[in-house]
Structure 1
Amino acid sequence: MSRKELKSEFGDVTATETGLRRFLHGLPGVDPVGLEARAAALGTRSIKTTAKAYALDLAISMIDLTTLEGSDTAGKVRALGAKAVLPDPSDRSTPQTAAVCVYPDMVATAKAAVAGSPVKVASVATGFPAGRVTLDVKLADTREAVAAGADEIDMVIDRGAFLAGNYGKVHEEITAVKEAAGDARLKVIFETGELSTYDNIRRASWLAMLAGADFIKTSTGKVGVNATPANTLLMLQAVRDFRDRTGVQIGVKPAGGIRTAKDAVKFLVLVNETAGPDWLDSHWFRFGASSLLGDLLMQRQKLRTGRYSGPDYVTVD
């Protein structure tokens, strides 16, 4: 089903607030105990050396290497871009990361830093991280980032509107930002730590996908609760079910709090066992991380050489 056919198929659902509410509240309820137990059980899976080497390389290739601080400088962004293109200067077989993720005003700098490589430039927009700006500002933010060369836009939803049950407003804003993004892929951030319930996360997932999201993303990394195995599992179930129903595949990006190779491997197991191997690709699954890459590189060198590197082997952001 094409995006145009998708809009036609769900036109009655998305045309009114009542239709959206009826559809979203008609989704199956989430069993919190069962969801968390399933996530915990999958997290105990172990993998052998050969599979581990593959998983480490895959995880590196899925990272959106991120800096989203008020203190960001052009020099820091250039260094981040260089790290994305050549994560381990001592081993050029190391995969490049999927993208670098920066604020809109740093997109041009990031684009220049990764020029000539397949590394994408992602930009947060729409009043990140709170999203408490008008739609006009959100659209201007998006257009600015795309004009500067952003390949991907990471937008935040209006959590206040969503929690108040104003699903039409959230749907309208995602649709408008998707249009403003043009050819750039759109990742829609829920801030799952603020949505209170798993049922809300499932509803937000379907709402974003119906509105045209190319990815659904857990969090901004700016609150206390970010990506967890349980909320990521739930979102993986949503994209799986959405493709089963529509034929349209949507990506998933857990972000915030994923710092170790062990954690990353657990998330890859979740992907494989829930959505399936079609999602085991950087086009469909990403890690939003700033510190994960360092541990992945250390574990990768351990497998390659049989020993851990010294503390200065990898940079720490």
Structure 2
Amino acid sequence: MDKYNQAIAESQVTTDDALVASKVNEILEKHLEENRKPEVLRQLFNSIDLTTLKSTDSQQSVANFVERVNAFDNEHPDLPNVAAVCVYPNFVPVTRTVLEVSSVDIASVAGCFPSAQSFIEVKMAEIALAVEAGADEIDIVFPLGDFFDKDYEEVADQISEMKHACREAILKVILETGALKSAQNIRNASVLSLYSGADFLKTSTGKEYPGASLEAAYIMCECIKEYYAKTERMVGFKVSGGVSTTEDALKYYTIVKEVLGEKWVATNEYFRIGASRLANNLLSDILGEETKFF
């Protein structure tokens, strides 16, 4: 057995879809309401990767988008800002030029997002260019085709090479759980990503396939927990794809907190929510009135 299959074989994380659904329901029934409080809403807002990934994005539209993040610091000095702004690689330079808030990172999708279908050299070049331009974090897509071919060595090699291209930047690996579908596939993809150097596991691109699910989040967090027990390396979790309401965000927060523990959700260092619509909805609930700031 090669080391990739061995790592998967040694994982004790459940691959029983019915059991996963049961565990999710149990956690939410017991703990969701205790997290419905103002300080959690503020922490959730501070965990957002505010995202613009449209075909119509332009230098001017991205600059305007970033200026709203700058303005938030001035108009709401009593509230924490978002964790990061997430843009396409070619907009990292303008984001770096316009962004004035030191607490907000620049994240960039790269590696031929969202399909991840290109030469590895092209993927690495795009990552390297984004980092050189000022990206603090890189979000790549898991190599689904090689995974479904069971070419786990190729999967691991590609992720490792892209991690190397990140240099000091954080690497988030998007599993695209809507394509993986089953608990077993999500578990196996999580294990491969963790042992290939991922700094974060992320659920979805929000593009071609169904977005995040609570069940996928549970499995991914269980894999992170198991990996941490073996290596003592904390790996973050990012939920994305269809998370737009405060209720959605609270449910994911509850899953992460109960599976991984308080230290994963205490700051935005290890918990993120990739979103565009969520920011206004959360802000409205925090302020107690409908707000369309972003």
Q: TM-score, normalised by structure 1?
A: 0.87
For residues 258-310 of structure 1, give each alpha carbon's deviation from its aligned partner in whole angstroms, at most 9, with x where no partner exists. Answer: 001111111111111110011012110100111100100000011xxxxx23x
Structure 1 unaligned spans of 5+:
1-16, 303-307
Does residue 198 of the first structure (1) align with residue 173 of the second (2)?
no
Give distance in 2, aligned partners of 1:48 and 1:215: 26
Tell me what 1:272 maps to.
Answer: 257
Answer yes or no: is the 8 Å Cα contact 1:42–1:266 preserved in 2. Answer: no
For residues 169-212 of structure 1, give each alpha carbon's deviation from its aligned partner in whole angstroms, at most 9, with x where no partner exists. Answer: 11001111111110001001111111131111111111111111
Which residue identity lines up with residue 133 of structure 1 in the other structure? S
Does residue 299 of the first structure (1) align with residue 280 of the second (2)?
no
Q: Displacement of 1:26 after TM fit?
A: 4.2
Which residue identity lines up with residue 227 of structure 1 in the other structure? A
Secondary structure (helix, strand or coil) at the match of 1:253 reads: strand
Secondary structure (helix, strand or coil) at the match of 2:33 reads: coil
Tell me what 2:208 maps to.
Answer: 223
Give distance in 2, aligned partners of 1:89 and 1:292: 20
Give distance in 2, aligned partners of 1:277 and 1:160: 35
For residues 231-261 of structure 1, give each alpha carbon's deviation from its aligned partner in whole angstroms, at most 9, with x where no partner exists. Answer: 0111111111111111111001111110011
Answer yes or no: is the 8 Å Cα contact 1:101–1:124 preserved in 2. Answer: yes
Which residue identity lines up with residue 5 of structure 2 in the other structure? R
Secondary structure (helix, strand or coil) at the match of 1:211 reads: coil
Q: 2:268 aligns with which of 258, 282, 290?
A: 282
For residues 65-89 of structure 1, give each alpha carbon's deviation from its aligned partner in whole angstroms, at most 9, with x where no partner exists. Answer: 0011111012221222233344476
Secondary structure (helix, strand or coil) at the match of 1:254 reads: strand
Give distance in 2, aligned partners of 1:37 and 1:89: 45
For residues 93-130 of structure 1, give each alpha carbon's deviation from its aligned partner in whole angstroms, at most 9, with x where no partner exists. Answer: 12111100001100011112223421000111111000
Matches within 5 A, 1:17-96: 18-28=2-12, 29-44=14-29, 45-47=31-33, 52-87=37-72, 90-96=75-81
Answer yes or no: is the 8 Å Cα contact 1:86–1:92 preserved in 2. Answer: no
Tell me what 1:253 maps to.
Answer: 238
Give distance in 2, aligned partners of 1:185 and 1:154: 8
Q: 1:167 aligns with which of 152, 159, 174?
A: 152
RMSD: 1.8
Q: TM-score, normalised by structure 2?
A: 0.94
Which residue identity lines up with residue 153 of structure 1 in the other structure? I
Residues 275, 78 of structure 1: CA spacing in aligned structure 2 closer, same or farther, 3 A cutoff? same
The range that moved more, 190-199 or 293-302, is: 190-199
Structure 2 unaligned spans of 5+:
none
Give distance in 1, aligned partners of 2:63 and 2:8: 43
| Aligned pairs, number | 291
